[in-house]
Amino acid sequence: MARAQLMRNFTQEGNMKKLSSILLVLLSINASAIEVILWVSEKDAPNITTDMPIESWHKAGYHDGPCGWVQTQNVDHLPPASSKNYIQGSEKVYEIDQEGNILNLWSMPVDSYVYAISGLNIYVRWGKTALQISTSGQLQISEQQYIKAKEASCPNKIKSIYGESDYIRCSEHTDLSNNKVHFLVYEGVCT
């Protein structure tokens, strides 16, 4: 009888430890979420009515930006468009060679611009600070300051990716880790 009780207690303690571990993992995932702004597709855009006024949509994180609806979302990563986990509504940043071939791809929040690059990480404007984004989509808040990039001409090959957008930006950034020059392409802040 004592052995059966001991086994029951051990099992309950084991389950409590497992439950505690799961809870800690869930809390750490939620704690690492970062608030970003993403585009809202036309089909998902708010339908402003007398039943659901704009204030209700604002409370749900939607905002009518100068170029369309955006939504504030909490994310723990921003995988690139080439990933099966790509988050629709994020902006794309391409690293290209001089012929316009794509070398690397990142995602970034709406209305951001690239501050700097270091290895496989870009740094983009995020509020009053910067957000470090890896090619795999890992996010980290950073104190990286803006480093003025040199404007570059955009190859026709890359312009077609953006559908001849008026907001396309091509620029040269010097890598902070090795002084190599990178050519980056993305759509600039919508005004």
pLDDT in tens, 4-48: 554 455 455 555 455 444 444 444 444 479 999 999 887 777 776
Out of 9-18, 93-102, 175-184, least confident range: 9-18
What percent of the chain lies above the pLDDT cut of 70? 82
Q: What is the pLDDT of residue 8?
A: 55
At 110-131, the pLDDT tens digits run 989 999 999 999 999 988 889 9
What's the pLDDT at 89? 92
* Of 107, 109, 138, residue with least CA distance to 126: 109
Q: What is the 3-state secondary structure (H, E, C) of 78-147?
A: CCCCCCCCCCCCCEEEEEECCCCCEEEEEEECCCCCEEEEECCEEEEEECCEEEEEECCCEEEEECCCCC
Where b means 16+ CB within 10 Å and e means fewer, 170-181 reads bbebeeeeeeee
Residue type, 107: S
Q: Please state the domain extents for the chain.
A: 77-187
Signed CA dihedral, 69, 189, 127, 119: sign only: positive
